[in-house]
């Protein structure tokens, strides 16, 4: 099902306020059912370990809203067959690939069923030997609050980052750790990787696309860095590898033009929605995860 400009525009409007389709309460959102749709396979990569069963858990930065084409089983979650788990699966060639990532997901949605649909974690089974997890930015409405507080120069950006963001991140560390612990409990022999978020903001300067004043740019970039550190802390707490893409995405922020891995408020048709990864960003994250696997994370340890 190809995404049209109308769908991309509607989605961008709804997600520009939350840059992650995050929930405004602890009410569970409906995750999509576990999927096993085969994808076209490129030539094998010799350095990658053998994978039998791969499960991808995550939010919109994993599911890939606005990237054509949507998977037939992932329309509710805006799950694209060009997201980074799909690209990774094409390289790994697992016997089974279950992508249950969903736009708007929080750690709550990973662990709890909602409105008759299974929780994302239900896709993880004892036979699963690789699980990737990309979650955390929607918890506590972090992305939503960051965009709404820091867009337009209303003077609320720095107070939010100073007074609210640290407490949100502190709580998020424990929630992500809980997800990782539960994944390992369900699949004790699986390799579990926590995967981070590419940059949206440059370290300094701004551009019309992001709509954030230059005076607030450094503070927003600092919040992104703090989220990256929080993810790393959660991974250390549980003892799983963390694949950060923050350093790799320097110079590929939403202000980087044709080199951008993420969109600002302006989007190109079928290349992601507002404040989310473009195809180039998804490919970069997939490469980073492949590198982690090839360099010794192993599978099924």
How many other CB atoms are there within 10 angstroms of residue 217's CB atom? 21
- pLDDT tens track for 147-164: 888 887 778 898 999 999
Phi/psi region, residue 173 (left: phi>0; alpha: psi -120 to 50; beta: rest), is alpha
pLDDT at 6 over 70: no
Return the closest-CA partner of residue 244 out of 200, 190, 182, 288.
288
Phi/psi region, residue 41 (left: phi>0; alpha: psi -120 to 50; beta: rest), is beta
Residue 285 makes CB contacts below 8 A (sequence gap 6+) with 84, 195, 198, 243, 245, 277
Distance, CA of 197 to CA of 139 (rounded, Å)? 14
Report which DSSP code applies to 33.
P
pLDDT tier, 297 (very low <50, low <70, confident <90, very high otherwise): low
- Specify the pLDDT at position 75: 60
Return the closest-CA partner of residue 264 out of 250, 278, 244, 251.
278
232: burial class by Cβ within 10 Å (0-12, 13-18, 19+)? middle
Kindly state the tokens that stand for 119.
């929780």
- pLDDT tens track for 234-288: 999 999 999 999 999 999 999 999 999 999 988 888 899 999 999 999 999 999 9
Distance, CA of 231 to CA of 151 (rounded, Å)? 25
* CA distance readout (Å), 15 to 23, 113, 272: 11, 23, 11
Lowest mean pLDDT among 15-19, 106-110, 207-211, 292-296: 15-19
- Specify the pLDDT at position 298: 57
Lowest mean pLDDT among 66-80, 179-193, 205-219, 228-242: 66-80
Lowest mean pLDDT among 36-45, 117-126, 225-234: 36-45
pLDDT at 131 over 80: yes
pLDDT at 40 over 70: no
Give the whole-number percent of the chain exceeding pLDDT 90: 63
Give the whole-number percent of the chain exceeding pLDDT 70: 80
DSSP string, 73-133: T-TTTT-BTTSHHHHHHHHH--SEEEE---TT--HHHHHS-BTTBPPGGGG--TT--EEEE
Distance, CA of 134 to CA of 124 (rounded, Å)? 15
Global confidence as pTM = 0.83
Distance, CA of 79 to CA of 193 (rounded, Å)? 20
- pLDDT tens track for 59-86: 999 999 999 777 766 567 889 999 999 9
Average pLDDT score, the chain: 83
Domains (range + CATH), the chain? 5-297 (3.40.50.1110)
pLDDT tier, 33 (very low <50, low <70, confident <90, very high otherwise): very low
* Local structure of 267: helix, strand or coil: coil
């Amino acid at each position: 099902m190809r995404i049209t400009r109308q769908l991309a525009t509607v989605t961008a409007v709804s997600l520009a306020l939350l840059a992650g389709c995050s929930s405004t309460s602890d009410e569970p959102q409906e995750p999509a059912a576990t999927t096993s749709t085969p994808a076209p396979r490129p030539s094998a990569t010799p350095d990658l370990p053998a994978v039998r069963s791969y499960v991808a858990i995550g939010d919109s930065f994993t599911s890939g809203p606005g990237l054509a084409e949507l998977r037939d089983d992932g329309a509710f979650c805006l799950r694209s067959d060009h997201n980074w788990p799909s690209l990774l699966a094409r390289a790994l060639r697992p016997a089974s690939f279950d992508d249950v990532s969903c736009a708007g997901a929080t750690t709550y949605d990973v662990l709890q069923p909602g409105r008759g649909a299974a929780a994302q974690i239900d896709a993880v089974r004892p036979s699963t030997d690789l699980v990737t997890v990309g979650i955390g930015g929607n918890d506590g409405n972090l992305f939503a609050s960051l965009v709404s507080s820091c867009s337009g120069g209303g003077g609320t950006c720095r107070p939010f980052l100073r007074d609210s963001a640290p407490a949100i991140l502190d709580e998020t560390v424990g929630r992500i750790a809980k997800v990782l612990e539960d994944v390992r409990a369900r699949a004790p022999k699986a390799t579990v990787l926590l995967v981070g978020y590419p940059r949206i903001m440059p370290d300094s300067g701004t551009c019309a696309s992001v709509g954030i004043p230059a005076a607030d740019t450094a503070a927003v970039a600092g919040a992104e860095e703090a989220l990256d550190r929080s993810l790393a802390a959660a991974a250390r707490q549980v003892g799983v590898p963390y694949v950060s893409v923050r350093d790799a995405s320097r110079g590929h922020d939403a202000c980087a033009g044709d080199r951008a891995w993420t969109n600002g408020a302006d989007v190109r048709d079928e290349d992601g929605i507002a404040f989310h990864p473009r195809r180039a960003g998804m490919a970069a994250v997939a490469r980073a995860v492949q590198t982690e696997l090839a360099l010794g994370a192993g599978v099924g340890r």
